[in-house]
Amino acid sequence: MKILKKISIILLSLCLCVPCFSMVAQAADGRISFTDPETAVGDMVEVKCVVKSTSGSLGNIEVKLTYDSAALRFDSGDGVTADSDGSLTCTGSGGSEEATFNMKFQALKEGDTSVSVAGATIASSGGGTLTLDQGSSTVKIAEGDPSKITDEGTTSGADDIEVDVNGTTYKLSDNFAEADIPAGYTKTEVQFEGQARQMVAQESSGVTLGYLLDGEGKGDFFLYNADDATFSPFEQINISETTSIALLSEKAGKKLPKTFQEVTLTLNGKDFPAWQNTEKDGFYVVYAVNSNGDKGYYQYDDSEGTYQRYEASGSTEEKTDDSLMGKIGRFIDKHIQMMVLIAGLGVIIVLILIIVLAVKLHNRNAELDDLYDEYGIDEEEEPERNKPAVKEKSATRSGLKKKKDEDSFDDFDEDDFDEEDFDDDSYGDDDYDDYDDDLMDDDDFEPYDDSYEDEIDDLDDLLGETKPKKRGHEETDDLFKVDFIDLD
């Protein structure tokens, strides 16, 4: 009996503990709560849905709601889409512990109605699933003006506007969540194709964003250009605690240096025009507008993922130097590889010419050395100059006179004295008889003087004397010395 009592007490304790644990677990995850507004027939009423977590930041959010379509008609909502009459889906991404969805309805009939949760899938930032308490909204509708009720087709047509962005078709939607609005932007109403549409704008920069849905129903904000009513991809980047930039798809009027080449930069699946610095690998320049509304270039470092303002005021095309040196410089810059090749070939050719000339000069010197050795040019000594003998004046004159007489005899040729010219008859012996022997007496001659013999001796010495050669500027160490030999 005592054993049964103990078992009963244990079982009762366990039963009491089970609901306590479950309630603690639910309370720890969070709650889905709503506001309870009051309105009148024909008026617009706003219902706010708040998803709040008590166990950390929220992740992806999907909440399905139901309402009485006879009492309320859905008009618009942040991140809320109408699946069918009486059914809505709220979607968003967390990043914080709370997410808010604002929904607008028009009251159709008097009475009380409600907006309740049909199902919810809430994830934490860590990827886990959260279980939240689910509340509901009670809307009290008083008597009003039924004439304010607009046609049902008027509001539904607002989501049917299609726009084209880079060849892809999107639908403009007013249903975006408050949590999806980029930081620094607030809701605004913009006239688009004759309709008042819900968009967001940044007051400081004047940038306006529209919420577009793709073919799969996924929404995102796109940059709206009011000048031509077009949309382009939008990507906001925080470069500091107080400044952010939005990349632009348009091209700036200022030109960049020639070292930049236009490319396409892809960020988060969105393509933007960029310019890559060919001299610095991994550096790009993008065109963006900052949070103050100033447009300009920003340099993006691919390796570090950082942005820095790039001054392009001095990046316009450089003035062309039309001088001769400027043209030569541009030609060299344009054909630098060819110029280096030509210079290298020129150096090689000069080296070859130097080597050839050196070899030829070496061979020539060798030939000259052989010539010197063969003729003994280096061993010859310059002959001593013969000093002319100083003779008496009379002897010199006599010698010169005799030499002159001898030269005069050379002028006669042997042919001038042919034997035939002398006839025996003309020169007979009888002719000599006419001369008297007395004419040949020794007394008729003067005595012989020995001084004549001395003069003759001096004349012989003079004739045998070698005439000194004229010495020019030739030296014994000259390269060449030529002896001319008269062969006549």
DSSP letters for 15-83: HHHHHHHHHHHHHHHEEEEE---EEETT-EEEEEEEEEESSS-EEEEEEEEEE-TTTEEEEEETTEEEE
Cα angle at 437 between 434 and 440, to 5 degrees? 115
> pLDDT tens, 96-105?
888 889 999 9
> pLDDT tens, 103-114?
999 999 999 999
Nearest in space to 90 (alpha carbons), one of 114, 116, 68: 116
Is residue 320's pLDDT more than 60?
no
> pLDDT tens, 18-55?
544 444 444 447 889 999 999 999 899 999 999 988 88
Q: CA 423, CA 409: separation in Å to the nearest integer?
A: 24
In terms of CATH architecture, what is 26-150? Answer: Sandwich (2.60)
Task: Give me the mean pLDDT over the 394-414 stretch.
Answer: 48
Q: Answer for the pair 199, 191: CB distance below 8 angstroms, yes or no.
A: no
Q: Provide the strand spans (E) within 166-305.
A: 168-173, 186-192, 195-202, 207-213, 219-225, 230-233, 236-238, 244-247, 260-267, 270-277, 283-290, 295-301
> Poorest-confidence range of 60-64, 181-185, 419-423?
419-423
Task: Give me the mean pLDDT over the 409-418 stretch.
Answer: 49
- Tell me which of 9 and 264 has the higher pLDDT: 264
> pLDDT tens, 196-251?
898 999 988 889 999 998 888 788 999 999 888 899 999 988 888 888 899 888 87
Predicted confidence at residue 60, as pLDDT, reads 87
State the chain's mean pLDDT as an integer.
75
> pLDDT tens, 140-158?
999 988 888 865 544 444 5
Nearest in space to 185 (alpha carbons), one of 163, 207, 156, 167: 207
The alpha carbon dihedral of 424, 425, 429, 431 has a sign of negative
287: which DSSP letter?
E
Predicted confidence at residue 35, as pLDDT, reads 93
Sequence length of the chain is 488
Amino acid at 163: V
Nearest in space to 198 (alpha carbons), one of 86, 369, 80, 117: 80
Q: CA 140, CA 179: separation in Å to the nearest integer?
A: 27
pTM: 0.40
